Amino acid sequence: MPHDPVDLRSDTVTRPSPSMRRAIAEALVGDDVFEDDPTVKDLENLAAEITGQEAALFVPSGTMGNEVAILAHTQRGDEAIVEYDSHIYNYETAGAAVLSGVQLAPISTEKGWFSVEQLERVIRPSDVHEPVTKLVCLENTHNRKGGSVTPIEVMREIREFALSRGLRVHLDGARIFNASAASGIDVKEYCSLCDSTMFCLSKGLGAPIGSMLVGTHGFIKVARRYRKMLGGGMRQVGILAAAGIYALKNNIARLAEDHTRARRLAAALAEIPTLRIQPEEVETNIVVIDIAASGMTVEEVLLLLERKGVLVVPFGRTTVRAVTHLDIDDEDIERAIEVFREVFLKAVK
């Protein structure tokens, strides 16, 4: 019987395990727009506790969490500073412009975080011609920079600087638990340096849907209104919150395994001459592979890998991305390595 493909497209592809499905089936529910779904309340309390924040809000996706946060922190005509390769700048279909009426000021960086000096250069003076700089958005881990972890000292400096300039800080922490697993720094510490944090239940933590927005009571109250405005007010959604609770209770401690597997994959692929990859830069669960030297296009590579049962995603003109997750075990990684060898070693012969 043929194997299922080794699906390394994203850590979003995980399927709920039998025990997560049991938790879903047994969940108590109510109407969450009336705020009487007990399981959603439990999830929100647990998320607030784990992140050391006053309150939390369950949102359908990471994108909605980020966009709700931008709506809550800004007014039309404000400017928000983002990293050039960030999810907010690249993958949210210009949501900040359309929904919040906010202009984004991107800063190019090497690894996914900017310095205070870079930040200082783009902050607007108080001038009638210019937008008001209101918000700084961070992304940790950083997706397009290969899952890089922002050093905590950098975040501390940014926080201090933002406070001195009256700027709010929002963290796109879709994979903040991966950052924590890699650095050993408690998620509470990362969140304490931000006015709001979004993190995803539906990525490495293995839930089928959902993200959390955390912050102060005041922030979450405003965010709840904007979530409703965007159509994210959900009803008997305790069945989904139950999956989130299960994910938070069972799937955080195992994230380090995904990182070990990503490093194994990176180290093996780095030995293939036509692939360019920096295994020492793989800090978490994302591996970015430059295939330029193979002479093949990204489309050709995707097709050849897929035919042999390995799925990855295009990640730029000459790069593809592989992400390890809960549904990938050691055997899958060895199979993926074998397939990459077949595709790329054959190509140089």
Give me the residues that bind ligand TLP (CB under 6 A), please.
10, 12, 61-63, 87, 91, 139, 143, 172, 174, 200, 202, 211
Q: Running DSSP on this structure, what letter comes out for residue 216? A: -
Distance in angstroms (rounded) separating the CA atoms of residues 186 and 239: 28
Shortest spacing between CB 288 and ligand TLP, in angstroms: 12
Q: Are 192 and 171 in contact (CB under 8 A)?
A: no
Shortest spacing between CB 214 and ligand TLP, in angstroms: 15
Residue 94 zone, left/alpha/beta (φ > 0; ψ -120 to 50; rest): left
Q: Are 292 and 274 in contact (CB under 8 A)?
A: no
Shortest spacing between CB 212 and ligand TLP, in angstroms: 11
Pick 139 or 332: Cβ nearer ligand TLP: 139
Pick 24 or 179: Cβ nearer ligand TLP: 179
Pick 133 or 148: Cβ nearer ligand TLP: 148
Pick 62 or 232: Cβ nearer ligand TLP: 62
Shortest spacing between CB 174 and ligand TLP, in angstroms: 3
Shortest spacing between CB 45 and ligand TLP, in angstroms: 22
Pick 10 or 109: Cβ nearer ligand TLP: 10
> Who contacts 216 (Cβ-Cβ below 8 Å, separation ≥6)?
53, 54, 55, 195
The CB-nearest residue to ligand TLP is 62
Shortest spacing between CB 323 and ligand TLP, in angstroms: 7
Name the burial class of residue 299, with classes exposed (0-12), middle (13-18) and buried (19+) by CB atoms within 10 angstroms of its CB.
Answer: exposed
Pick 230 or 347: Cβ nearer ligand TLP: 230
Q: Are strands 132-139 and 168-172 parallel, antiparallel or unpaired?
A: parallel
SS3 197: strand
